[in-house]
Structure 1
Amino acid sequence: MTEIGLIRHGTTAWNKELRAQGSSDIPLDEEGLMQAKQVAERLNSEKWNVIYSSDLSRARQTAEAIAIKIGIPVQVDSRLRELGGGLIEGTTEEERLRKWGREWRSLDLDMESSESLIARGTSFMEDIMGKHENQRILIVSHGAFLRRLLKNIVPHFNFEESLKNTSVTSLVRSDKQWDCNLYNCTKHIVES
């Protein structure tokens, strides 16, 4: 049986400002660094074989905190990047409405397509399944990327709730089918 733990990165300043991050390389803020340590502490009590991370610093910093705690090096893969936001990156919803109007989502703003995201996500999943069958794999990535990927590989599960920062989602594969046995869990977050 193969298990995958999916982790969304910790918070950033742009998360708090409700700015579209996309493939912009925004680092964790102070709270995000603390969240990364908290999820690392949670995962330390479990046995994992490998950690993969997006190459964007907010995911990489989260993965590195986990790696330090559990003693496994991070393998970086750019296919785990967030959905490319094109011209909307760095903007808030209010700014998008002001600049492009209410129908901004229907405009060609150079955003990455869902098909492109699914293609790179599927390619990544096929590669890791070939390398790590019957192992426990951690993947640290981004909210929109993870939700779209989850909807594609576990279509019978409801993934409508947005992923929280450093949430843990667990997939188990048996009989060539994925099932989600934990979604969006943040029990490790301790508010200071």
Structure 2
Amino acid sequence: MTTITFVRHGITDHNMENRAQGHTQNPLNETGRAQAALVAKRLAQESWDVFLSSDLRRARETAEIIARETGKLVDFYDERLREMDRGLIANTIEAERVQRWGANWHELDMKQETHAMMRARGRGFVEDIGTRFAGKKILAVTHGYFLGHTLKELMSDESTGIQMRNTSVTTLCLEDNGWCYLLYDCIRHLDES
């Protein structure tokens, strides 16, 4: 059986400030590192055939903490797992965007990746990895907005993938009729602490 378990990275100061992260290389904060340690302990209770991660710093840090606890090194970093490219608004908060470009900034071309582009990237990643590692148990560290839109695309369900929580665990299983959830946005490792 092919499964892909997605883990959203630990929390960052940018998350707490509601700052557009996109492809910025910002680190986890202290809470994010503690969250990553808790999810790592949880994931160490299972064995993994393939371990992938986004190459952005916050995901890499989360993956490195998981690798230390599980003893499974990251097999490779995959740019397809990156967060949505936020273009010109990366590293800004709403007030800064309004000050810089006006209240209607969202109507301007801010060179951002579109939802359609991100969904195609997510579907392409899942289809490729699911085929390349058929029958394997795959672990992938990624980002919330990217993961949410990937799930919307795969499940053909706009009600899914909303507000994926930091270090949440979501497991997909490939069945005859497509991908289905085995676990969705689970943070029991945080609740137990």
Q: Name the CA distance, whole Å, in 2 between partners of 1:83 and 1:119.
A: 12
CA RMSD across the alignment:
1.8
Give the drift of 1:123: 2.7
The answer to whether the aligner puts 1:37 opposite 2:37 as a matched pair is yes
Cα pair distance change 1:145/1:107, threshold 3 Å: same
Matching of residue 57 in structure 1 with residue 57 in structure 2: yes
Displacement after TM superposition at 1:17 (Å) = 1.2
Residue of structure 2 in register with 1:67 after alignment: 67
Tell me what 1:137 maps to: 138
| Corresponding residue number in structure 2 for 1:98 | 99
| 1:78 Cα deviation from its structure 2 partner | 1.0
Contact 2:9/2:59 (CA < 8 Å) preserved in 1?
yes
Match of 1:8 in 2: 8
TM-aligned CA distance change 1:185 to 1:96, over 3 Å: same
What's the % identity of the aligned pairs? 46
Counterpart-to-counterpart distance in 1, 2:90 and 2:157: 31
- Cα displacement (A) at 1:31: 1.1
3-state DSSP of counterpart to 1:188: helix
* Letter of the structure 1 residue corresponding to residue 68 of structure 2: I
Deviation string, structure 1 residues 110-143 (Cα, Å, up to 9, x no partner):
1112232223323322321222111111110111
* Partners of 1:157 and 1:180 within 8 A in 2: no
Q: 8 Å contact 2:171–2:183 — kept in the other structure?
A: yes
What's the secondary structure of 1:15's corresponding residue?
Answer: helix
Q: Does structure 2 conserve the Cα–Cα contact (< 8 Å) formed by 1:51 and 1:138?
A: yes
In 1, the alpha carbon distance for the partners of 2:187 and 2:151 equals 18
Equivalent position amino acid for 2:117 in 1: S
Aligned-partner SS, 2:189: coil
Shift of 1:29: 1.1
Alpha-carbon distance in 2 for matches of 1:160, 1:71: 29
Other-structure match for 1:182: 183
Within-5 A mapping of 1:94-133: 94-133=95-134
Length-normalised TM-score, structure 2: 0.92
Task: Work out whether residues 28 and 61 of structure 1, in 8 Å CA contact, stay in contact via their aligned partners in 2.
Answer: yes
Q: How does 1:136-155 map to 2 (within 5 A)?
A: 136-155=137-156
Which ranges in structure 2 are unaligned for 5 or more consecutive residues? none
Which residue of 1 is the match for residue 26 of structure 2?
Answer: 26
Q: Paired residue for 2:85?
A: 84
Equivalents in 2 of 1:191, 1:70: separation in Å?
A: 19
Q: Is the 8 A contact 1:26 1:58 kept in 2?
A: yes
Question: Relative to structure 1, is the Cα distance of residues 114 and 157 closer, same or farther in structure 2, using a 3 angstrom cutoff?
Answer: closer
Name the CA distance, whole Å, in 1 between partners of 2:31 and 2:192.
Answer: 10
TM score, norm. by length of structure 1? 0.92
Q: CA deviation at 1:3?
A: 1.1
